[in-house]
Amino acid sequence: MNAETRSCQNCKAQFTIEAEDLNFYEKVKVPLPTFCSKCRTIRRMLFRNECIWYRRKCDATGKEVLSMYAPERPYKVYVNEYWKSDAWDPMQYGVDPDFSKPFFSQIKELLSAVPHPNLIQKNLVNSDYANYAVDLKNCYFIGGATQSEDCAYMFGGAPRSRQCFDTFQSRDMEYSYEVVDAEKCNGVRFVQNCVACSDSTFLYDCRNCSSCVGCVGLRNKSFCIFNKQYSKEEYLKELERLKLGSANGLRAVREKFEALKLSTPRKFATILKSENVKGDDILNARNCSDCFSIWNDIENVRHTYRSFDRVKDGSDGFVVWNNSELFLDVFSVSGQRVFYSALIWGGFDIQYSYNCFDCNNIFGCVGLRNKSYCILNKQYSEVDYKALVPKIIEHMKTMPYVDARGLKYGYGEFFPAEFSPFAYNESAAQDFFPKTKEEALAEGFTWYESGRKVYQITKKIGEVPDDISDVSDSILQEVIECAHQGKCSDYCSTAFRIIPQELQFLKKFNLPLPRLCPICRRGERIRSRNPLRLWRRKCSCAGGQSANGVYKNTAVHSHGDAPCVNEFETSYASERKEIVYCEQCYNAEIV
């Protein structure tokens, strides 16, 4: 098939549906999308609130619980244990399809009627303060993590970690702090895009390095500071001089480290053990395009962010994992043949459903567990179900839902943005596609502020000790002012406390107290990553040096003294200051 160009009905931008996309849509027999990839991604992300939680009453038990749904939201919320119990039946909310009104309207009514769990949790031990979490023990303020222990402030798909604080999208980590997109590291602080490193501070794009500070692009090195080799004795003397236990010392090292990052070539994309892929942060994948953060046996996937552990044949996913196969326009899914759905943990042949566990052959359902052949939470026989679903699909095509802005949603579109239980600034959309309040409201999204608590600050940010050696256990009783003071684009809490295990960790590894609240620290980590977008650009290698003249090549490249002619798709926009090399030029300098 030939590619097809369309105009997005939301942002009005022109977008191309590639031949591979057309083949997939034909394979699964669905209409072509009417929204561009970016707008589709934002709509899915609107349904995930990873870390903005509130206190409210459980509508079943009256118990005060943490909830990702603000108290003012018109939803019934049950504490997780009660929601999973047999004390109530989601089937009692079942209704017959009404062909006199849009099917999406009926889904919206069901979303408002069926109770929701306060947080998404499974197999947690002493880890109540966690969301989208599975198999945690002794963890605190966690969002999107599995199989981890004794961790806090860890977000964004963080499996198999122990004794880690303030990480984003890092896996198989131990005793580490302020980490982004790293794996198999131990005892590292302030590192990004690193693998198998240990006992180091401020690393970027390093592999198998130990006892290093402020280094970029190193391989198999020890006792280096700002990429300069030292003996062990010299290294230890320099390390003491750097005063990494003080906020001022740490700030000075960070400034020099950031300058080194800008003067060192980096690869156009982090792609390892993969073939025929386009995107960034890709490991062990085949035939994938427009994908970001996909790892561990991913095949034939497009327009997807955060997919891992044996996923095959799908498009437009946000958090898809664990043997999922044949998916389309989904959020948080582990299953087979799941289309236009969110929060589906286990099951197959599912469409337009929300928060369902281990179900199969369901359409337009909410909150079901271990059910089959259901439509709008009502039970049908297999024969009746299979006869009714095609009629509903045809009805969705002929009578689309029209939202407040006049946008149309028929069969082949994910849930409308106005169905999201979260405001724009509560959702993952704000993390990756940030907007001001004015911008969000102008584009038809909601914005929420009334749920913010006003804290009685006991220690202003200027009163926080500079050096960790000057901090006593009395800090645990203080309410510390966040340096952003609520003036940033994050959902700043304006104040925070230090928890006991955090203080113990900071003292053990000689790290100063943080100056930002956990939400703002998380925001800083996310902003350190590249956007979920690709640009076409040329290699920055001009022959013997980088095109901006900042970096002098250390090796003769295959193109000699002439500029490299290689082009690629990268998440680095052409106007950015980083030196971006193609794989061949990068390997000549770094590997």
For residues 587 and 490, membership in a common domain is answered with no
DSSP-assigned states of every residue in 202-265:
EEES-BS-EEEEEEES-BS-EEEETTEE--HHHHHHHHHHHTTTBHHHHHHHHHHHHHHHHTS-
For residues 542 and 490, membership in a common domain is answered with no
For residues 63 and 160, membership in a common domain is answered with yes
CA distance 518 to 576: 28
Q: Are 582 and 553 in contact (CB under 8 A)?
A: no
For residues 68 and 131, membership in a common domain is answered with yes
Both tokens of 135, joined, read 């198999």
Instruction: Answer whether residue 69 is part of any domain.
Output: yes
List helix spans (H) across 71-170.
80-83, 103-113
DSSP-assigned states of every residue in 413-442:
SPPPGGG-SS-GGGSHHHHHS---HHHHHH
For residues 522 and 540, membership in a common domain is answered with no
Instruction: Answer whether residue 502 is part of any domain.
Output: yes
Q: Which of 144, 196, 203, 212 is nearest to 178 (CA)?
A: 203
For residues 497 and 549, membership in a common domain is answered with no
Final residue belonging to a domain, choices 527, 555, 571: 527
For residues 518 and 580, membership in a common domain is answered with no
Query: Which pLDDT belongs to residue 262?
Result: 98
For residues 520 and 466, membership in a common domain is answered with yes
Q: Are 178 and 172 in contact (CB under 8 A)?
A: no
Query: Which pLDDT belongs to residue 489?
Result: 87
Three-state secondary-structure class, residue 128? coil
Expressed as residue numbers, the domain containing 499 is 461-527
Q: Give me the residue label for tokens 């800083």.
A: 524
For residues 522 and 556, membership in a common domain is answered with no
**Dihedral (CA of 306, 311, 315, 319) sign:** negative
Instruction: Answer whether residue 27 is part of any domain.
Output: no
For residues 581 and 469, membership in a common domain is answered with no
Final residue belonging to a domain, choices 483, 509, 527: 527
Query: Which pLDDT belongs to residue 73?
Result: 87
CA distance 27 to 43: 24
Query: Which pLDDT belongs to residue 157?
Result: 76
Per-residue pLDDT of the chain (591 residues; tens, 9 = 90+): 789 999 999 999 999 999 999 999 999 999 999 999 999 999 999 999 999 999 999 999 999 999 999 998 889 999 999 999 999 999 999 999 999 999 999 999 999 999 999 999 999 999 999 999 999 999 999 999 999 999 999 998 778 999 999 999 999 999 999 999 999 999 999 999 999 999 999 999 999 999 999 999 999 999 999 999 999 999 999 999 999 999 999 999 999 999 999 999 999 999 999 999 999 999 999 999 999 999 999 999 999 999 999 999 999 999 999 999 999 999 999 999 999 999 999 999 999 999 999 999 999 999 999 999 999 999 999 999 999 999 999 999 999 999 999 999 999 999 999 999 999 999 999 999 999 999 999 999 999 987 677 899 999 999 999 999 999 999 999 999 999 999 998 999 999 999 999 999 999 999 999 999 999 999 999 999 999 999 999 999 999 999 999 999 999 999 999 999 999 999 999 999 999 999 999 999 997
CA distance 509 to 518: 19
pTM greater than 0.85 (yes/no): yes
For residues 513 and 562, membership in a common domain is answered with no
- How many structural domains are present in the chain? 3
Instruction: Answer whether residue 310 is part of any domain.
Output: no
Query: Which pLDDT belongs to residue 453?
Result: 77
Identify how many contiguous H helices and E strands the chain contains and give both numbers. 12, 33
Q: For residue 44, how many other CB atoms are within 10 A of its CB?
A: 25
Q: How far is CA 543 from the centre of its chain?
A: 37
Instruction: Answer whether residue 139 is part of any domain.
Output: yes
For residues 521 and 543, membership in a common domain is answered with no
**One-letter identity of residue 499:** I
Q: 372-404 burial, b if ≥16 CB within 10 A, otherwise e?
A: bbbbbbbebeeeebeebbeebbebbeebbbeee
Instruction: Answer whether residue 544 is part of any domain.
Output: yes
Instruction: Answer whether residue 313 is part of any domain.
Output: no
Final residue belonging to a domain, choices 509, 527, 545: 527
Q: How many residues does the chain have?
A: 591
Query: Which pLDDT belongs to residue 451?
Result: 67
Instruction: Answer whether residue 422 is part of any domain.
Output: no
